[in-house]
Structure 1
Amino acid sequence: MTNTEELITRRTNAVAQGVGTRGIYAARAQNAELWDVDGKRFIDFAAGIAVNNTGHRHPKLMAAVAQQSEQFTHTCFHVAPYEGYLKLAERLNASTPGSFDKKTMLVTTGAEAVENAVKMARAYTGRSGVIGFSGAFHGRTLLGMALCGKVNPYKKAFGAMPPEVMHAPFPNAMHGVTVEQSIAVLENMLRSSIDPERVAAIIIEPVQGEGGFNIAPPEFLKKLREICDTHGIMLIADEVQAGMARTGKLFAFEHSGVVPDLMVMAKGLAGGFPLSAVTGRAEVVDAAPVGGIGGTYAGNPLSVASANAVFEVIEEEALCERATQIGDMIQSRLKALAERQGMEPVGDVRGLGAMVAFELVTDRESNGPDAPLTGRVIAEAEERGLIILPCGTFGNVVRLLPPLTTPIEQVNEALDILEASIEAAISAG
């Protein structure tokens, strides 16, 4: 029995079945490489689901955390606050879109950030309704999963959802949903289903993560901003997966020029340590009563130290530019592959910066989803030493999230593996 097989048995016996896992048991990792407990090397194009934008164990992050650990590891910010939290809040206030006064709160997970942003919007507006979009993912807490636009597995078997949470269709040109159609449904919803004066917030991912790396068209985001301004609704940007240089901008909303009222961040914010944030209009963030937001571990000192170092690495190593370079390499290679005879199942290649995906279909006329082929591609890639992930409402999209610090020769090596995996998976079908 291999070390991996032994750990799989132990996991089956000890860990909740609902916690989904892969068969790769990590022993160590550095930058874009990961080795499992049997010594097999992988190139990691998952990056902990867009967490390790600065790579595994970036030396600058490790040094910052080590230095902080010599001072203290936890006090609870509510009990004994510390300067690192203030420094990071100031950085976020200065770097997020919008010229207005801003404030920030730190918590631990993306779902926590989403829930606190909604609480702020409700406190500020005195309203309770929230509108999300089909294909969205906003977390696994009760309100987070209610906002999700995908039932299986996130809502399945978990009973009734909180009230006054509604969904409009997310634009998807490949599958026939135009910006105009999406806006028409949303506006009709505000006429027929919920009074806009009861809507506190509209929340949207500028690039849907779990939903399939669908990119919100700039004209769509601009129209949402107009609707929110007309009705006094807060616009919340969920940058949990797309933020922190991933798309070639520090935040993906910057591609559209649209400024949200509140922005939520996590994943890449602390480069592998649990941390999330809500940043936005000072008057909205301040609407919550004293003690109404926060948490015991919110803004953990080690995570905060790492996040402050992440900002320095992004600037010093020009990771926004690097994201664009890597993303262009990936898209160019995949689009060339899709044009080859026999590669018709590669129905679409899309992305912003180094947030790239390709959609696998039964045929390009119907664009019917081919989830079994997607599973075969991922399994082939894993066997050949490349970690990639599925996504999409129908499970037929492969997402690529390389660390932005990945050496170019490893990007090319990963693309060679990916191309061979796609060819093998299609041939096996």
Structure 2
Amino acid sequence: MTQVVGGPSLPQERKLVTSIPGPKSQEMLARKNAAVAAGVGVALPVSIVAAGGGVMVDADGNSLIDLGSGIAVTGVGNSAPAVVEAVVNQVQQFTHTCFTVTPYDGYVKVAEKLNELTPGTHEKRSALFNSGAEAVENAIKIARHYTKKTAVVVFDHGYHGRTNLTMGMTAKNMPYKDGFGPFAPEVYRVPTSYPFRDGLSGADAAKVALTQIEKQVGAANLAAIIIEPIQGEGGFIAPAAGFLPALQEWATANNVVFILDEVQTGFARTGDMFAANHEGVVPDLMTTAKGIAGGLPLSAVTGRAEIMDSAHAGGLGGTYAGSPIACAAALATIDTYEKENLTERARQIGAIIDEFFGELAKNDDRIGEVRGRGAMKAVEFVVSGSQEPNAALTGAIAKQAGEQGVVLLTCGTYGNVVRFLPPLAISDELLREGLQVVADALAAN
């Protein structure tokens, strides 16, 4: 069996001893409904008590294959030993001081590592925060302060968070925005590159977007362009080659800060440490979170020193921003990515998914496209004989997979995409078994 990196010593197997959800999970769900706000939904109603490698174990003793990694968070595996050890050691030293009151070494070490790892050889600075949305908000703050301009351009199908500003930046209405407005002003949306649906080259798609920016916003008003190098919630849309470099080139020429949102794509997920590297794109600012700290809440903005340093002292920070516990976890997590060569592991995982669904697609035209990079893969489902989104099929597949012990996530503006974000610690055997469960669900529907 392929070696599993990280995680407690849980049997790496799918095992169902009750229906999903089992009686203990149902009991927890009833308590959840009575105690937790209804707006906090769940994708699969199971009560998890342990997780590691490529599995999650629920309160009823079922062992489920994890193809979601808590939405790309536990790339090194859940409860990875190095992360657990680092967290325990830090908790025994101190849990909190607030870095902006009395600083500590862990925060500085994380900043140094991010400055080293992120694209570009220019001088950089980093600032740490708690969540992806918080990192995005601060990147926009910094860009506006630096340029003395206010407008922000985002893209169709983009997702940037759930705060007021980032909801305004996010494209998808339900469930993220509906009824929560009004949103922050000076956010403008332009077309993205969606090769499966627009058929455009990267250069042509960029021309469409940039023309709209110039005519409807104006470079003189624009502080920042922000885009995910592969759109996450929007459907794992990888832009056509040349699209991102064209945006970057235009932004540089027009004194516009070019921001890459690598909250979901960052840290080995796409088969490189950052998705920007696939096309040699060097952003002015980059936001990271999710896979940065092995499951602990941490995010960052990293970028050009002159831009990052433009904000006045006290303008950036937060009570828990750069928690010492999360920083300890991040250093152990990044060390694991590097020592275990998990970028290569992500490429191996991607090749397995490509081959598996490539074969299925030969005989099932409801598979519209298999796309993504590394261990960030997706299948877009359509109505047979068309490109019409097939959300009903997608939902049925996810539901049946869950009932058969596979944690599977969906996404896409049209609700018709299944996304694969397995832990990079998963074995080939477990991955293939999980994919087969998904294939069986497709065949049954």
* TM bucket, shorter chain: over 0.9
Q: Which stretches in structure 2 are left out of the alignment for 5+ residues?
A: 1-21
Aligned-partner Cα distance in 2 for 1:177–1:146: 27
Match for 1:288: what amino acid? A
TM-score by length of 1: 0.96
Q: Could you tell me whether the CA contact under 8 Å between 1:34 and 1:42 is conserved in 2?
A: yes
Which residue does the alignment assign to 2:402?
382
- Where does residue 153 of structure 1 map in the other structure? 175
Equivalent residue, structure 2, for 1:324: 347
Check the 8 A contact 2:266/2:274 in 1, yes or no: yes
In structure 2, what is the Cα distance between the partners aligned to 1:223 and 1:109? Answer: 29
- Pair 1:191–1:12, CA change in 2 (3 A): same
- The one-letter code of the counterpart of 1:78 is T
Distance between the aligned counterparts of 2:243 and 2:432, measured in 1? 35
In 1, distance between residues paired with 2:301 and 2:31?
38
CA displacement 1:294-322 (0-9 Å, x = unmatched): 10000011110010001110111110000
Which residue number in structure 2 is paired with residue 358 of structure 1? Answer: 379
Kept in 1: contact 2:164–2:183 (CA 8 A): yes
Structure 1: distance between partners of 2:206 and 2:432 = 40
Letter of the 2:139 counterpart: A
Give me the whole-angstrom Cα distance separating, in 2, the residues matched to 1:71 and 1:141: 33
C-alpha distance in 2, partners of 1:177/1:110?
31
Aligned to 1:263: 286
Partner of 2:393: 373
Partner of 2:242: 219
Matched, 1:280 2:300: no
TM-score norm. by structure 2 comes to 0.93
Which of these residues, 22, 29, 44, is aligned with residue 8 of structure 1?
29
The residue number in structure 2 matching 1:56 is: 78
User: 1:201 Cα shift?
Assistant: 0.4
Distance of 2:420 and 2:100 partners within structure 1 = 38
Measured in 2, the distance between the counterparts of 1:192 and 1:177 equals 23
CA positional deviation for 1:186: 2.5
Measured in 1, the distance between the counterparts of 2:413 and 2:106 equals: 39
- State the SS of the aligned residue for 2:398: helix
The number of residue pairs the alignment matches comes to 422
Q: Tell me, what secondary structure is at the counterpart of 1:139?
A: coil
Tell me the equivalent position of 2:229.
206
Could you say which residue in structure 2 is the equivalent of 1:20? 41
Could you say which residue in structure 1 is the equivalent of 2:91? 69
How does 1:299-314 map onto structure 2 within 5 Å? 299-314=322-337
**Which residue is equivalent to 1:189?**
212
1:379 shift after superposition? 0.9
Q: Secondary structure at the match of 1:70?
A: helix
Distance 2:397 2:210 in 1: 40
Residues 187 and 412 of structure 1, relative CA distance in 2, 3 Å threshold: closer
SS at match of 1:348: strand
Q: Distance in 1 between matches of 2:268 and 2:32?
A: 35
Note if contact 1:130-1:203 (Cα within 8 Å) is conserved in structure 2.
yes
| Residues in 1 aligned to 2:203 and 2:272: alpha-carbon distance in whole angstroms | 27
- The answer on whether the counterparts of 1:114 and 1:144 sit within 8 Å (CA) in structure 2 is yes
The residue matched to 1:218 in structure 2 has which SS? coil
Residues 218 and 255 in structure 1, CA contact (< 8 A), matched pair in contact too: no
For 1:291 and 1:232, locate their aligned partners in 2 and report how far apart those are by CA, in whole Å: 25
The separation in 2 between residues aligned to 1:176 and 1:167, in whole angstroms, is 17
Counterpart pick for 2:418 among 387, 398, 414? 398
**Distance of 2:210 and 2:114 partners within structure 1:** 33
* Cα distance in 2, alignment partners of residues 385 and 6 from structure 1: 19
Per the TM alignment, residue 187 of structure 1 is displaced from its structure 2 partner at its CA by 2.7
Conserved? CA contact 2:66–2:406, under 8 Å: yes
Partner of residue 10, structure 2:
none
Secondary structure at the aligned position of 1:243 is classed as coil
Equivalent residue, structure 1, for 2:150: 128
1:357 is aligned with what amino acid? A
Q: Deviations over 1:396-417 (max 9, x none)?
A: 0000000011122211221222
SS across alignment from 2:356: helix
1:368 aligned partner, one-letter code: E
Where do 4+ consecutive residues of structure 1 move more than 6 Å?
Answer: none
SS in 2 for 1:213: coil
Kindly, what percent of the aligned residue pairs are identical? 45
- Report deviation, 1:188: 2.9
Contact 2:192 2:209 in 1 (8 A): no
The letter for the 2-side match of 1:385 is G
* CA distance in 1: counterparts of 2:214 and 2:298, whole angstroms: 39
Secondary structure of the residue aligned to 1:398 is strand
Per the TM alignment, residue 184 of structure 1 is displaced from its structure 2 partner at its CA by 3.4
Q: CA deviation at 1:180?
A: 4.7
